[in-house]
């Protein structure tokens, strides 16, 4: 059982449905090398993308409130699905800065030369009102094709990034977009950057992949510079917790982050 005292005082809390948010965490680590980071992989409740909005909201609030109780100074939602469904609810319920990732439609529209942008994301994300709003606001008359990619999150959770099965599953959802002339693909789920070399190999060198993780890290740094004093120049710590099977998540985190990463069980009280 975890003590209710501020266990992660002054750290930055980062969470996702699973290991995908590590793609955001690495951008945060690069941008803020002196900050302590605590990452929660909500793997016991993943994937979010196939669940109801009520369930995703409940998980986002549960993990967000828990991080706040542990004393974190900011929360990063490293999950597009949780952002488009529940970021507003979390922001309404916490005084902490909440920085959240969402599909990078605006930069993709600026990059396309063919006028066709593909958005690869979870079912919940492509069906969300938030993404419809982003398309309406930033579409500038370009064609934006939204593509749900069920199964891709599970590939990353299993660290299955380069197998024949993975290539077949990537082709299944990429080929319709490429056939429609998409030259810019938004990685609209934080798991997908771990598939980016396989995605790029299928798409070819003329297709641009867009991942907003660096922009999220910059926004987090900007928000922190407004609200908290800067840290002493010692390297920050990085802690990993999961609501899922610790051994299985440990294996995947070691593969995606590095063997030095140690995953512990998350406890809600």
CA distance 128 to 242: 26
Kindly state whether residue 191 participates in binding ligand DGL, applying the rule CB under 6 A: yes
257 in contact with ligand DGL (CB under 6 A): no
Q: Is 16 in the site for ligand DGL (CB under 6 A)?
A: yes
From the CB of 119, what's the least distance to ligand DGL, in Å? 12
Residue 75's H or E segment, with its range, is strand 74-77
The 10 Å Cβ neighbour count of residue 42 is 24
Shortest CA distance to 32 belongs to which of 60, 87, 68, 73? 73
**149 part of the active site:** no
Give the binding range for ligand DGL (CB under 6 A) out of 41-49, 64-72, 109-117, 209-217: 41-49
80-93 vs 129-138: helix axis angle to the nearest 10? 100
Task: Decide: is 153 part of the binding site for ligand DGL (CB under 6 A).
Answer: yes
Work out how close the CB of 168 gets to ligand DGL at its nearest, in angstroms, rounded to a whole number. 20
Residue 244 makes contact with ligand DGL by CB under 6 A = no
CA distance 223 to 221: 6
Task: List the one residue from 14, 85, 105, 189 that touches ligand DGL (CB under 6 A).
Answer: 189
Contact of 74 with 147, CB cutoff 8 Å: no
Chosen residue from 17, 70, 76, 242 binding ligand DGL by CB under 6 A: 17
Catalytic residue among 104, 177, 187, 189: 189
Instruction: Please tell me whether residue 56 binds ligand DGL under the rule CB under 6 A.
Output: no
Q: For residue 20, state whether it binds ligand DGL (rule: CB under 6 A).
A: yes
**Nearest residue to 184 via CA among 142, 233, 156:** 142
Among 60, 70, 76, 81, binds ligand DGL (CB under 6 A): 81
Supply the minimum distance, in Å, between the C-beta of residue 99 and ligand DGL.
14
Residue 79 is a catalytic residue: yes
CB atoms within 10 A of CB 44: 15
State which of residues 60, 147, 166, 190 lies at the interface with ligand DGL (CB under 6 A): 190
**Other Cβ atoms within 10 Å of 243 Cβ, number:** 23
End-to-end CA distance of the chain: 6
Active site residues: 79, 189
């Amino acid at each position: 059982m975890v003590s209710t005292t501020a266990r992660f005082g002054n750290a930055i809390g980062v969470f996702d449905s699973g290991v995908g948010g590590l793609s955001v965490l690495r951008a945060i680590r690069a941008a803020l090398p002196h900050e302590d980071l605590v990452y929660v992989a909500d793997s016991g409740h993943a994937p979010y993308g196939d669940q109801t909005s009520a369930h995703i909201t409940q998980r986002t609030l549960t993990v967000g409130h828990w991080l706040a109780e542990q004393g974190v100074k900011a929360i990063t939602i490293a999950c597009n699905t949780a952002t488009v469904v529940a970021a507003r609810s979390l922001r309404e319920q916490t005084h902490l800065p909440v920085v959240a990732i969402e599909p990078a439609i605006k930069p993709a529209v600026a990059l396309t030369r063919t006028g066709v942008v593909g958005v690869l994301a979870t079912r919940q994300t492509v069906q969300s009102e938030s993404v419809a709003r982003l398309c309406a606001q930033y579409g500038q008359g370009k064609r934006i094709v939204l593509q749900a990619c069920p199964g891709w999150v599970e590939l990353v959770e299993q660290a299955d990034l380069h197998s024949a099965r993975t290539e077949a599953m990537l082709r299944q959802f990429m080929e319709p977009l490429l056939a429609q002339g998409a030259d810019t693909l938004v990685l609209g789920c934080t798991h997908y950057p771990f598939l980016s070399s396989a995605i790029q190999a299928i798409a070819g060198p003329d297709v641009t992949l867009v991942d907003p993780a660096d922009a999220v890290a910059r926004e987090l740094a900007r928000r922190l510079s407004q609200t908290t004093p800067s840290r002493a120049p010692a390297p920050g710590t990085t802690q990993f917790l999961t609501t899922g099977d610790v051994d299985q998540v440990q294996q995947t985190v070691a593969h995606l982050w590095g063997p030095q990463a140690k995953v512990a069980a998350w406890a809600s009280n």
